């Protein structure tokens, strides 16, 4: 349970009202987690949000304006068995953890069949079972490892596997599979968080952020992430991200989200999914889905800015046991040992009880 007193201190107006006022007056998103109410807004510095937010929050009285994020009947009849240009798509391993429930947060983690140690770290740290959140690992196929994956899934029941080959250039299949899974199997989720398997999510802070700084009823048109602007298309043969002019003719990519952590509202998931199913394949998934397709369907990304713990800061936290302060995500590409260490620091601190 959330400690309401922290947010509604005696004598101060309720946060929700302040928030609506802040949103209306300044168009800013404020973040006063841990600071009581009202705290210093941390997410206001970007000119991109300073004008008016690109998303809408669902608040009491606003629900009827945004009744349902989407209806599945808008999709073509063969959509379920299609994944972009794969015509016989199916889930080899699947689960129904949402089954009529409406989790606040659905976390879909891109993983690779062989990344068992990474999945174990997540299960033991920030991905532990907790109310309001569902954690699943998304993988493709690898014939040599299939038995092992099935054994792992028997124990943990948190793997979703699609019948495409798990390969570097197949990342976009995985991302669209994530959008597909959320669309068909967890339509009630208020927020969908797409992640990589080498990241750190401060899950208690995240649930608090979603339900108090955003809205427990969810949002519309939301894509919240680490924004990449004016990124050059890599043409060098030495680059891991080399793209030929045939694959992508332009010199720069549109504004897009770094793929390691992206918060979507369910309607954003749906419109990006529907568009992805119609478009030709481009293998850099974050550029394609959160850049090219987001632009096509007229969605604007909102930057996470200060809610990411920077690399240097993480170093100080791990070496000197400094307090990490308020954050939702660690830096991208974390070592497993650092994920464990940061989780220990975050959870052994006196932290208001969330459950």
Ligand X SMILES: *[C@@H]1O[C@H](CO)[C@@H](O)[C@H](O)[C@H]1NC(C)=O
The dihedrals phi and psi of 118, each to the nearest 5 degrees, come to -65, -40
The count of residues interacting with ligand X (CB under 6 A) is 17
Question: Quick count: other Cβ atoms within 10 Å of Cβ 22?
Answer: 18
Asked whether position 18 contacts ligand X by CB under 6 A, the answer is no
Site string for ligand X, 113-152 (x = CB under 6 A): ----------------------------------------
Question: Quick count: other Cβ atoms within 10 Å of Cβ 66?
Answer: 17
> Which range, of 112-120, 165-173, 198-206, 226-234, touches ligand X by CB under 6 A?
165-173
Residue 106 CB, nearest approach to ligand X (Å): 16
Residue 86 CB, nearest approach to ligand X (Å): 6
Asked whether position 165 contacts ligand X by CB under 6 A, the answer is yes
Among 29, 57, 223, 342, binds ligand X (CB under 6 A): 57
> Rounded distance, CA 114 to CA 118, Å?
9
Nearer to ligand X, 96 or 312 (CB): 96
Q: Which residues make Cβ contacts (< 8 Å) with residue 241, sequence separation at least 6? A: 234, 284
Nearer to ligand X, 11 or 67 (CB): 67
Report 270-299 residues binding ligand X (CB under 6 A). Answer: 298
Residue 132 CB, nearest approach to ligand X (Å): 17
Residue 182 CB, nearest approach to ligand X (Å): 16
Asked whether position 170 contacts ligand X by CB under 6 A, the answer is yes
> Which range, of 28-36, 58-66, 245-253, 314-322, touches ligand X by CB under 6 A?
58-66
Among 120, 167, 231, 318, binds ligand X (CB under 6 A): 167
Residue 342 CB, nearest approach to ligand X (Å): 33
Asked whether position 20 contacts ligand X by CB under 6 A, the answer is yes
Residue 62 CB, nearest approach to ligand X (Å): 4
Site string for ligand X, 81-120 (x = CB under 6 A): -----x---------x--x---------------------
Please choose, from the candidates 216, 307, 287, 272, the residue with its C-alpha nearest in 3D space to the C-alpha of residue 32.
Answer: 307
Taking only Cα atoms into account, the Rg of the chain, rounded to an integer number of angstroms, comes to 20
Nearer to ligand X, 24 or 236 (CB): 24
Please choose, from the candidates 242, 271, 260, the residue with its C-alpha nearest in 3D space to the C-alpha of residue 330.
Answer: 260
Please choose, from the candidates 121, 116, 159, 124, the residue with its C-alpha nearest in 3D space to the C-alpha of residue 140.
Answer: 159
Asked whether position 244 contacts ligand X by CB under 6 A, the answer is no
Nearer to ligand X, 287 or 308 (CB): 287
Report 223-242 residues binding ligand X (CB under 6 A). Answer: none
Q: What angle do CA 165, 166, 169 make, to 5 degrees?
A: 95
Among 70, 91, 164, 281, binds ligand X (CB under 6 A): 164
> Which range, of 128-136, 159-167, 190-198, 310-318, touches ligand X by CB under 6 A?
159-167
Peptide bond before residue 38 is cis, with ω within 30 degrees of 0: yes
> Which range, of 36-44, 164-172, 227-235, 247-255, touches ligand X by CB under 6 A?
164-172
Which residues are at the interface with ligand X (CB under 6 A)? 20, 23, 54, 56-57, 59, 62, 65, 86, 96, 99, 164-165, 167, 169-170, 298
């Amino acid at each position: 349970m959330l400690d309401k007193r922290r947010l509604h201190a005696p004598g101060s107006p309720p946060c929700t009202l302040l928030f609506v006022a802040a949103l209306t007056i300044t168009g800013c998103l404020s973040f006063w987690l841990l600071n009581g109410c009202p705290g210093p807004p941390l997410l206001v510095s970007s000119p991109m949000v300073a004008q008016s937010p690109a998303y809408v929050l669902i608040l009491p009285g606003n629900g009827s304006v945004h009744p349902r994020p989407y209806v599945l009947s808008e999709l073509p009849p063969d959509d379920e068995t299609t994944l972009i240009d794969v015509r016989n798509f199916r889930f080899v391993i699947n689960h129904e953890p949402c089954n009529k429930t409406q989790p606040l947060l659905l976390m879909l983690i891109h993983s690779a069949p062989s990344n068992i140690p990474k999945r174990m770290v997540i299960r033991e740290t920030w991905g532990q079972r907790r109310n309001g959140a569902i954690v699943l690992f998304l993988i493709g196929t690898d014939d040599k490892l299939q038995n092992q994956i099935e054994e792992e899934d028997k124990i943990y029941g948190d793997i979703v596997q699609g019948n495409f080959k798990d390969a570097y250039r197949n990342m976009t299949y995985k991302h669209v599979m994530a959008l597909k899974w959320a669309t068909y199997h967890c339509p009630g989720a208020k927020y969908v968080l797409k992640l990589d398997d080498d990241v750190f999510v401060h899950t208690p802070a995240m649930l608090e952020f979603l339900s108090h700084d955003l809205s427990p009823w969810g949002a519309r048109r939301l894509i919240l992430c680490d924004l990449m602007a004016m990124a050059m298309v890599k043409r060098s043969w030495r680059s891991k991200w080399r793209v030929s002019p045939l694959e992508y003719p332009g010199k720069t990519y549109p504004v897009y989200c770094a793929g390691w952590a992206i918060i979507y509202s369910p309607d954003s998931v749906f419109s990006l999914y529907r568009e992805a199913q119609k478009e030709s394949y481009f293998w850099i998934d974050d550029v394609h889905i959160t850049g090219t397709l987001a632009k096509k369907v007229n969605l604007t990304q909102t930057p996470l800015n200060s809610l990411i713990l920077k690399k240097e800061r993480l170093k100080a936290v791990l070496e000197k046991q400094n307090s990490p302060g308020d954050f939702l995500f660690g830096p991208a590409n974390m070592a497993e040992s650092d994920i464990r260490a940061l989780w220990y620091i975050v959870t052994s601190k006196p932290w208001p009880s969330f459950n």
